[in-house]
Amino acid sequence: MTQIIEVFLWKYDLPITSSDLHALICQELGVDAPAINTTKLLSALSASRDVIYDKRKLTYILCDERRRALSELSKHAEGEHRQAQELFITAAGLHCGQPIDENVWLGFYAELKEAIHKVGANTYNLLVNGEFEREGDWLTNFILGQPRELRDGLRIAIAKFFSSKEGFVKSIILRLLSAHFFAEATQLKPETLAVLEAKRKSKDIKLVLDTNFVFAILGLDDSANDAAASLVELIRKVKSVDIRLYVLPTTLEEIKAALSIQMNRLESRVYSQGLSRAALDTNISGIARKFFEKSNQAGGLSPTVYFNAYIEGLRFVLKDKGIDILEWPLDFYYRDQRFIDDLNDLLETEGEREGGKSYEMLNHDLVLWYAIKDHRSSGAESLLEESFWGVTLDSRLLSFDLKKRKSVRNSLPVVLYPTNLIQLLQFWVPRSEFLDNSVLDSLKMPLFVHGFDKEDEAVTISIVNALTTYDNIDGLGHEALTSILADQALRVSIISSDKRIEITEKIELEVINEAAKIRMNSEALVNSLEISNNQSFQLAEQMLGLKATLTEKSVEVDATLVRARAAEALLEVKDAKDEKNSFLMFFVWLPLLLIGIVSALLVYNLWGQSFSSPAVIISLGFVALAIFLQVQLSAWKMARSERLKRWWLADLMQHTYTKFCVPLIPGALWLFDYAKGFLPKSE
């Protein structure tokens, strides 16, 4: 708080009295703070020589050293603000797909300041009168004020902004927090501060957790995992107060029921890694999303194995997280007239609301609220005097609590939002990185709590369940699986169907269509690229595996594939037969016929002549040459055809050619020359 006083002295840059400085602070911050608070802070700064006090004029002024230091800090803060603005605008432009105007940043920053102001105001109100305004989704006004086509991109950009590892992002937010905490703290009267100081020295607090916050602590609720983890870590840092976490037996049963419902919806199947990864790209959230994350990491996982670890060992899991069971008697509430009247009112309200709570959920909420309220001490004027606090993320339960408090004047909240709890805990936790991170994480929660459609998620899980029945479903690829899960026409038709067999048939048709697309793409790829034999073989195996899967699911597809394979086999046999017949015709029978005819003519014309006559020798040479050429051409043709290489007749001819014909020709020539020596020589 002394830093804020120094900032005002630095900005004023002239000697100023305590009363004038107090008036300046109240005017600029819009608060009504006791003047004594400012006087005490100035006295402390004067004693440390950071502020120079003029006893004659009763004025204060910042010393030169602190003035120079604050000037440097101001320049640094301005630079960080510009960096944060550039980071936001760049991220928003990237995720929105178009340049983003500076006014978008100004609108976001204004909402951020308002949200942080509400954090500070709630801190003050909770301590003074137990009143608070639930922060909830502080981004709604900003998002709805933007063009529809930018909204999803801006949510992603803001999430990236908050999760940035750049130090300047955290710095500008913490500067706002410091300013607003100071603004509210200055309003506390000295007597109030004295009471608070007395109460913070020793205290036992029991936090009774609602189901949704337990899921967050267990890491099963995406919207509040970080906030829950930060809060638990913050509780561990509190040394002067004994804070314990509890759940009621009814909450224990509701947790088990919720997990069992999710397990049954996912059914007893092992989800492949590819299918799990595709499911994560859809609208699935909460418990189901956490399961698919684990399945993707494990390379495939059974829902039964995953959820039974929580259902059967829930007490041990909670104990490991530091959460105990409050074994309070609760059955009598179901006969309590207060309980019955409130239940009837809530049933009527929820019945009029789309997606209203079930009877069992309302029973649980009322038991939680009444159990905490009835175990509190009467006459408490501040939440700091209470020992039992409820913690929930449920906006409807918080609204019910607000309604009940309005009916009883000066009534304190029974259940708190996590941010409100953090605001209370800061009175026992010194300002530290843990406290700052807890507030930052609570500010991020609205980024994840929006637009959740239970019916839409149920459709997604139905499609995923149907896809698990296909063997080798990962063979379709991530893009094809994501396309099936996101197909709006398929989702609408499933919502309108009430028969499981119809849903299965529609999903089957979608799988067949995606498989057909993959086949067409594969064939186009094969036609356009010269791929290696190994790649072709792998592609063929994948296609055959996919065909086999589709065959089991569709008689029509099965018949088509069988006919196609039979046609391919018949075509192969026909082509092989035609090639063999062609070979026999043009490379065996026709050459032999021609050689036979020529030989017959030669015998007819040369009959009676001497064997050694030139005409006979030349004729025999031509016949031998023709035979040689016929054999050579046959060998050339066989070498160019894979089918002929595997044919037994071609193999025999090749063997005969290499083992008999080739050695025969030079042998015949030698024999002819040798025989000529025994013939009578003509004179």
Residues 572-602 pLDDT 10s: 777 777 777 776 676 667 777 777 777 776 6
pLDDT band at 453 (very low <50, low <70, confident <90, very high): very low
Residue 359, pLDDT above cutoff 70: yes
* 274-307: pLDDT as tens digits: 777 776 666 566 677 777 777 777 777 778 888 8
- 209 pLDDT more than 90: yes
> Which range has the worst mean pLDDT, 266-270, 390-394, 503-507?
503-507
- Per-residue model confidence (pLDDT) at position 443: 54
Q: Check pLDDT > 70 for residue 166.
A: yes
Q: What is the pLDDT of residues 174-195, one digit of tens each?
A: 666 665 555 444 444 444 445 4
Least confident of 64-78, 172-186, 249-263: 172-186
Least confident piece of the model among 8-12, 234-238, 665-669:
665-669
CB-count exposure of residue 275 (10 Å: 0-12, 13-18, 19+): buried
CA nearest neighbour of 281 among 482, 490, 94: 482
pLDDT-derived band at 249, boundaries 50, 70, 90: very high
Q: Which amino acid is present at 671? A: L
Q: Are residues 352 and 362 in contact, defined by beta-carbon separation less than 8 angstroms?
A: no
> Which is more confidently placed, 336 or 295?
336
pLDDT of residue 559: 62
pLDDT value of position 246: 94
pTM summary value: 0.52
User: For the chain, what is the mean pLDDT?
Assistant: 71
pLDDT (0 to 100) of residue 362: 92
Strands 300-301 and 271-272: antiparallel
Q: What is the arithmetic mean of pLDDT over 80-103?
A: 88
- Out of 303-317, 372-386, 571-585, give the one with best mean pLDDT: 303-317
CA 607 to CA 642: how far, in whole Å?
Answer: 45
Q: What is the secondary structure of 566-589 as a DSSP string?
A: HHHHHHHHHHHHHHHHHHHIIIII
Q: How is residue 322 annotated by DSSP?
A: T
Q: Which residue has the higher pLDDT, 497 or 250?
A: 250
Confidence (pLDDT) at 56: 85
Chain-centre distance for alpha carbon 554:
33
Higher pLDDT, 12 or 535: 12
Residue 491 has pLDDT above 90, yes or no: no
pLDDT at 52: 83
The pLDDT of residue 208 is above 90: yes
Beta-sheet strands, E only, within 348-457: 388-391, 415-416
3-class SS at 355? coil
Q: What is the pLDDT of residue 188?
A: 45
Q: Once rounded to an integer, what is the mean pLDDT over residues 544-571? A: 66
Q: Which amino acid is at 286?
A: G
pLDDT at site 448: 44
Q: For residue 332, what pLDDT is reported?
A: 92
Q: Which of 333-337, 447-451, 649-653 has the lowest mean pLDDT?
A: 447-451
More confident residue, 386 or 102: 102
Average pLDDT over residues 561-577: 71
**Is 335 or 353 the better-scoring residue by pLDDT?**
335
**pLDDT exceeds 50 at position 127:** no
SS (H, E, C) 450-507: CCCCHHHHHHHHHHHHHHCCCCCHHHHCHHHHHHHHHCHHHHHHHHCCCCHHHHHHHH
| Structure-derived torsion over alpha carbons of residues 526, 532, 534, 537, reported in degrees to the nearest 10 | 30
**Helices and strands in the chain: count of H runs, count of E runs:** 32, 10
User: What local confidence, expressed as pLDDT, does residue 149 receive?
Assistant: 85
Q: How does pLDDT run across 426-436, given as a tens digit for each residue?
A: 656 555 555 55
Model confidence at 235, pLDDT cuts 50, 70, 90, reads confident
Predicted local distance difference test score (pLDDT) of residue 432: 56
Going from the C-alpha of 674 to that of each of 165, 612, 669, 670, the distances in angstroms are 100, 12, 9, 6
Per-residue pLDDT averaged across 565-570, rounded? 71
* Residue 204: pLDDT over 70: yes
Q: Which pLDDT score, from 0 to 100, does residue 193 have?
A: 44
Share of the chain above pLDDT 70, in %: 51
280/508 Cα distance (integer angstroms): 21
What is the average pLDDT across 458-467?
58
CA angle 185, 186, 192 (to 5 degrees): 70
Return the top range by mean pLDDT from 10-19, 280-289, 366-375, 500-509. Answer: 366-375
Q: How far apart are CA 216 and CA 285, in angstroms?
A: 12
